[in-house]
Structures are given as structure tokens and as C-alpha cells.
Structure 1
């Protein structure tokens, strides 16, 4: 094999690896099910007015959140938000747990970034 032929082979391999890596990143960013995205946008619309502009901003917001927080972490944070409203000992565990607080802080940071980018 000539030097030029081996360079082409190396470049082809690198291009294939880069394409695979980009596809993996795209899959990671799109691991939120449609129902979760729709629920987020619906809640966002209720909080920000039900206008065409709000639809665009809320759709952008969930895209930013999805790019920053893995879906499993998002579910954890949503569960913490829901369960921390429960009164008594059970709700208290969700309000005081270090792991719960960490997941919630991740979501809040992502939402703050989405606010800057989208609103």
C-alpha cells in the first residue's frame, strides 16, 4: 500500500469515528421521550403565557435542559420536586437528602441556562 493510500484509509477511519461520536452525542441529547418534552413545554406555557412566542421559547428551553441533564437525572429531579411537596416524614426525606438536592440543583442550573439562551 502506498503512503497516499494509507493516508486515505486513516482519514476514512477518522471520519467514521467522528460520525459515530456525533451520532452518540445526538442520541444522548435526544434521550428524553416525547411525552416528557411535551409535559415540560405544557408546564412552561402555563407559567409563561400561552402565546406563539412562548411555544418557541419553551421548546428551546427543554432542548437546552435535555442537552445538559441526562434523562435519568431529570426524572430524579422531577420526582424530588413532586415528593418534596408531600407533608410529613416522607416529604422531609426528599427535602433533606443530599442526593435529592444535588439532582434538583442540576435541573435548576440547566433551567437557568435555558432561561438565558431562550427567553
Structure 2
């Protein structure tokens, strides 16, 4: 019997996960910094374990498959600006574009939570 080498085992593992590659392709449209930032924030909120790393990575992949990066970036900008103080910050919370952007991201995150957590 021929035993697979370390490289052959890795190739077999990659081949086993190829059907999941479609999800990862969507995340390739997102900049690496954005994906890393999301995963780190997710891990800060949910724990610093390997399982949480996998779930958070799954989560951003699902979000990337549901909304294009430009929409994600717009939603995150509205969300972050809404956290600021002052009179002008209401523009980022109470306007129709702000609500629409936030709604799209919340729906994508809810779907990601169902699929990954």
C-alpha cells in the first residue's frame, strides 16, 4: 500500500473542499485588509479560538457572496460615521440612504450568522 506524503495529504484536503471554493471566490473581490479587519473584529466579539476563526471566515465569505464590495464599503462607512457624535452624525443614521445601506448589511450578516454560527 502506498501512503500519501504530506503534500499529497494537503492536495487531497484541498480537493475535498473544492465545492466550497465558490464562496471563497466572492471574498476575493473584497480587499484582504477588509476581510482581515472583519475576521479580527468578529473574533474579538465571539472568542479567540480556531473554531471561531473558521466561523468568522465563513461569515465574511457569505457576506461577500451576497453584497458587492462597494455596497459593503458604503454600509460600513455609514455605520462607522453614525457612531460619531455631533449634529452632523444624524445624516449617517436618519437618512434614507443610510437606512438602506444599513439594512442590506444587516440582512447579509443575518444570513451569515445562520449559515456559519
Give the equivalent residue in structure 2 for 1:72.
Answer: 70
Q: Which runs of 5+ in 1 are unaligned?
A: 1-25
Q: TM-score, normalised by structure 2?
A: 0.76
- Displacement, 1:105? 0.6
Looking at CA atoms only, which structure, 1 or 2, has the larger radius of gyration? 1
Alignment of 1:1-119 (within 5 A): 30-119=28-117
Q: Distance in 2 between matches of 1:60 and 1:29?
A: 10
Q: Distance in 2 between matches of 1:103 and 1:88?
A: 21
Q: TM-score, normalised by structure 1?
A: 0.75
Segments ≥4 residues shifted beyond 4 Å = 26-29
Q: Which runs of 5+ in 2 are unaligned?
A: 1-23
Q: Distance in 2 between matches of 1:100 and 1:31?
A: 23
Q: Distance in 2 between matches of 1:90 and 1:75?
A: 20
- Displacement, 1:28? 5.5
Q: Distance in 2 between matches of 1:100 and 1:107?
A: 11
Number of residue pairs the alignment of both structures matches: 95
